[in-house]
Structure 1
Amino acid sequence: MAMENSSISPPNGSCSPLCERNWTDFNCSIPGQCFYPNFYVLLPVIYSVICAVGLTGNTAVIYVILKAPKMKTVTNMFILNLAIADDLFTLVLPINIAEHLLQYWPFGEVLCKIILSIDHYNIFSSIYFLTVMSIDRYLVVLATVRSKRTPHRTYRAAKIVSLCVWVLVILIVLPFTVFAGVYTVPEEPDHKSCVLSFPGSETFWVKAGRIYTLILGFAIPVSTICILYTMMLYKLRNMRLNSNAKVLDKAKKKVTVMVFIVLAVCLFCWTPFHLSTIVALTTDLQTTPLVIGISYFITSLSYANSCLNPFLYAFLDDSFRKAFKKMLECRPA
């Protein structure tokens, strides 16, 4: 079995999913070379903040959408699922932090598969739900331009689409779940690592996994989103030029702008991660403190996306702000 270090390797070859984000290691495969003391305390602090903020914010979003009757819209159904995906990831961050501090994996095979799977769910689920939201926005704009209604665009239909996205993401992540496992360093039987262990040629599987993640987790969905928004802007431009066309009402404009900004923030957080994959595929960078520092920064940025969306909703959506305020009010029984 060839072991594929899916993370920046801490001392003695351990492989933490906390630092992982799927091969941002820039070909760092020699145990003990990829860890520096400055990161030992700093990273758990950063990830603890992301965990606390993300868990609080996304849980609040989930609560508001489920409890407030006016929040049950098609767009909010997709936002709900996006918040669930982010919440799921932040829930397992404490385990990753513990592994980072212990510098070995003490939690067993089953939990290793779960943690690595959830980490990869987070890579794919965010961009896929944003792709669905972009498709939804395009259909709304198209229907408005043509002065048509969208009878099939219902809350129930949004639930079915969300379920299909979850099934698709699970199928995409399944290979990582299968290959995830606990690896024991031969020289140190007590030192265990949670890694992706591939059969056969390690080089082939590493490259195949990177390309697989890059294409399915970035290239295809981002290309789809770019095409949709280009077409959407074209339709809106023609609509303004056509004096007989009805402009988008204020509410639809606000939702469209919100989806666009959430998408922009997601791409800002995730693009460096996927660019690092391209760098890893095309170059052979030497492992230096600077390279490792950049790699950790890229990982932190991708993690941070899981806690930013609730602030965007609160800032951009009046209904969210009002619902948050009601939730925080202390009313007598």
Structure 2
Amino acid sequence: MSDENSTSYDYSGYYDDPSDYSPSNFSDVKNFSQVFLPTLYSLVFILGFIGNALVVYVVLKHRNQSNLTDICLFNLALSDLLFVFTLPFYTHYASAGQWTFGGFMCRLISGSHQTGFFSSIFFMIVMTLDRYMIIVHAHRVARYRTMGAAITLTVFIWMLSLFVSLPDFIFTEETKESQRLGCDYPQENKVWERYDLFTTNVLGLVIPLLVMVGCYSRIIPTLVTMRTTKKHRIVKLIICIVVAFFLLWAPYNIYRFLKFLQEKTIIQQDLTLDKNLRLSVAVTEAIAYTHCCLNPIIYAFVGQKFMRRALQLLKRLVPGYIRNLYNSSFRRSSVISKSSEVTSTYVM
């Protein structure tokens, strides 16, 4: 995947300087990427697939009892699954140092990668806004949280994600540089890299972070006034949601922006800086991808209702220890008050 484009790295650039091995050398970046990226991508694929597939299965199994929160969880998991399904291709890309799947797959995988990324972000925004409305303005929005509204909102989010990702479906193609094949925007369409940088930074970080901070800053005081023994744990969870999102995605977006400034000579042109930025973008992007593994934990498994359903499923698959865990969880859930149940359902 290219350092300027979140959909694909152009590894051909790492082969241009075969000089001595040093931390700031292109060959060092190449060697590091060929080990680090496939390893982390493979781990993210396995954990992300297992966690999100379980969410999809549990929601589908109890689809007759689904509400807006369940539908958002379901689509968030689908978004993360679409995202992680592209990682095996990028794992091979990073390992081989070139793209070997052809032009059609280049466009399909790049576009699917972006669609999964943006739809995941958008559904997290929707879930944050839903929590805010149902906790801070519960009486005003209850009648609007219908199945029809949920389906309409879901279709809109997927269409919006597809629209934002269209340049990747249309303009990315198999390129050839330094005798190696890449998957990137061709030179005549490099203007779309600025579009990609803008959408990734603004739609992928700035807007969701502002929504989270704004909504949760109103939600937390409301939770504190509720008579529930779980409010302190929920406040900590909310803080973890915001902090995890920021720590995982902010470094990648910052380094991408610095790389853009360096390429446009807005900051000094320096070979060492360029090589270090290449390495930083590669590392921080791979780390940011681990967020799709955390989504099932943050947004699903900590919820009381979803946890009971997941344990019921695991009880059938893995008897013994899981049965004891399920019984313990059931006893705890049976003493939850009504206010705590509402808080658990919509905050987590």
The interval holding the TM-score normalised by the smaller chain is 0.7 to 0.9
- Secondary structure of the 1:104 match is coil
State, as a whole percentage, how many aligned pairs show the same letter. 23
Q: RMSD value over aligned CA atoms?
A: 3.5
Q: Which amino acid aligns with 1:73?
A: N
Distance in 1, Cα, partners of 2:104 & 2:144: 41
Distance of aligned partners of 1:8 and 1:195 in 2 relative to their CA distance in 1, 3 Å threshold: closer
Does 1:197 find its partner at 2:186?
yes
Distance in 2, Cα, partners of 1:70 & 1:267: 35
Q: Could you say which residue in structure 1 is the equivalent of 2:43?
A: 49
The 5 Å alignment of 1:1-333 reads 6=5, 8-11=9-12, 35-68=29-62, 72-144=66-138, 147-148=139-140, 150-185=142-177, 188=179, 191-199=180-188, 202=190, 205-233=192-220, 236=222, 240=225, 247=226, 261-282=240-261, 283-284=267-268, 286-287=271-272, 290-313=276-299, 315-330=301-316
Shift of 1:329: 2.7
Q: Which amino acid aligns with 2:248?
A: C
Distance of aligned partners of 1:115 and 1:13 in 2 relative to their CA distance in 1, 3 Å threshold: farther
Q: Per-residue displacement from partner, 1:129-165 (whole Å, max 9, x unpaired)?
A: 1111111112112333xx5561111233222212111
Q: Are 1:71 and 1:319, in contact at CA under 8 Å, matched by a contact in 2?
A: no
- Of residues 40-49 and 205-214 in structure 1, the stretch that sits farther from structure 2 once superposed is 205-214
Distance in 1, Cα, partners of 2:156 & 2:305: 27
- Of residues 322-331 and 168-177 in structure 1, the stretch that sits farther from structure 2 once superposed is 322-331
Q: Per-residue displacement from partner, 1:245-280 (whole Å, max 9, x unpaired)?
A: xx4778999888766644542333212122223322
Distance of aligned partners of 1:198 and 1:166 in 2 relative to their CA distance in 1, 3 Å threshold: farther
Aligned residues, how many?
300
Shift of 1:310: 1.9
Q: Per-residue displacement from partner, 1:167-186 (whole Å, max 9, x unpaired)?
A: 1111111122221111123x
Q: Per-residue displacement from partner, 1:62-119 (whole Å, max 9, x unpaired)?
A: 1011112586221121111111011111112111112222222121111101111122
Distance of aligned partners of 1:317 and 1:221 in 2 relative to their CA distance in 1, 3 Å threshold: closer
Distance in 2, Cα, partners of 1:94 & 1:4: 18
Give the TM-score, by structure 1 length: 0.76
Distance in 2, Cα, partners of 1:251 & 1:51: 33
Shift of 1:300: 1.6
Q: Are 2:301 and 2:307, in contact at CA under 8 Å, matched by a contact in 1?
A: yes
Report 1 or 2 for greater relative contact order, CA contacts < 8 Å, sequence distance ≥ 6: 1
Distance in 1, Cα, partners of 2:192 & 2:141: 49
- Secondary structure of the 2:137 match is helix
Q: Which amino acid aligns with 2:208?
A: P
Distance in 1, Cα, partners of 2:75 & 2:232: 22
Please identify which structure carries the higher helix content.
2
Q: Which amino acid aligns with 1:228?
A: C
Stretches of structure 2 that go unaligned for 5 or more consecutive residues are 16-23, 262-266, 318-348
Shift of 1:293: 3.9
Distance in 2, Cα, partners of 1:48 & 1:165: 28
- Of residues 176-185 and 54-63 in structure 1, the stretch that sits farther from structure 2 once superposed is 176-185
Q: Which amino acid aligns with 1:78?
A: C
Distance of aligned partners of 1:167 and 1:34 in 2 relative to their CA distance in 1, 3 Å threshold: farther
Distance of aligned partners of 1:250 and 1:72 in 2 relative to their CA distance in 1, 3 Å threshold: farther
Distance in 2, Cα, partners of 1:109 & 1:224: 37
Distance in 1, Cα, partners of 2:74 & 2:241: 14
Distance in 1, Cα, partners of 2:272 & 2:119: 31
Stretches of structure 1 that go unaligned for 5 or more consecutive residues are 15-27, 241-246
Q: Are 1:128 and 1:165, in contact at CA under 8 Å, matched by a contact in 2?
A: yes
Distance in 2, Cα, partners of 1:263 & 1:84: 21
Distance in 2, Cα, partners of 1:131 & 1:263: 12
Q: Are 1:4 and 1:196, in contact at CA under 8 Å, matched by a contact in 2?
A: no
Q: Where do 4+ consecutive residues of structure 1 move more than 6 Å?
A: 248-257
Q: Which amino acid aligns with 1:305?
A: H
